[in-house]
Amino acid sequence: MKSIQIELPDKLAVEVNALVEEGWFANETEIVHLALAEFVRRYRFALMEQFHRDDIAWALKQKKATAK
């Protein structure tokens, strides 16, 4: 398992601590795991599509540059 260290804005840290203290999550790590998993699930397709568009745009630009 990979370990990372993050810094949160104070307001977000307060929210995270409140969720843990209220019993919604066992600890801060659980919240971060869930948040990252949800982000990846929700945005994976859009991110991959944007990466492909960027690659295609780069390739077209390269083709135009070599055609001159």
Q: Cα dist. 30→13, 19, 35 in Å?
A: 14, 11, 9
Domain residue ranges of the chain, discontinuous segments joined by +: 10-67
Tell if the pTM clears 0.85, that is, is over it.
Answer: no
Residue 65, both tokens: 């540059």
Give the tens place of pLDDT for each residue, 30-66. Answer: 999 999 999 999 888 888 888 898 889 899 888 888 8
Residue 30, both tokens: 């659980």
pLDDT at 48: 85
